[in-house]
């Protein structure tokens, strides 16, 4: 996927990335029963779709592996999501990063 992104972007283009981060509430829920885990940080949902929970280090390694991109910034973003109808408060965790095309 990253090689494909590099093919359709110009040099000095900036890629913004945001996805689930390790220790997100959903990952902790998946981990508690153990039946949804396929691999380290990779889980399958009930509908068959998969969820991966990234670390900044893993994401940096993915993008910088073939020397196509360099990480400009990377951080974990924590957000509290409130479902008023069900009276639930869920702590969400995302990884957010920017990469520049070399």
pTM: 0.84
pLDDT score, position 74: 98
- Distance between CA atoms of 35 and 61, rounded to whole angstroms? 28
Report percent pLDDT > 90 for the chain. Answer: 77
User: What fold is seen in the domain 2-101?
Assistant: Rossmann fold (3.40.50)
Sheet holding 88-101, edge to edge: 14-20, 88-101, 69-83
Give tens-digit pLDDT for 55-79. Answer: 999 999 999 999 999 999 999 999 9
User: Domain locations in the chain?
Assistant: 2-101
Confidence class of residue 35 from pLDDT cuts 50, 70 and 90? confident
- Distance between CA atoms of 44 and 57, rounded to whole angstroms? 23
């Amino acid at each position: 996927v990253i090689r494909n992104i590099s093919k359709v972007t110009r040099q000095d283009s900036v890629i913004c990335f945001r996805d689930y981060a390790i220790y997100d509430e959903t990952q902790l829920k998946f981990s508690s029963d153990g039946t949804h885990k396929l691999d380290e940080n990779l889980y399958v949902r009930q509908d068959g779709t998969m969820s991966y929970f990234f670390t900044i280090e893993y994401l940096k390694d993915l993008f910088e592996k073939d020397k196509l991109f360099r990480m400009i910034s990377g951080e974990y973003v924590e957000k509290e999501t409130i479902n008023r109808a069900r009276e639930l408060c869920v702590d969400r965790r995302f990884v957010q990063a920017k990469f520049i095309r070399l």
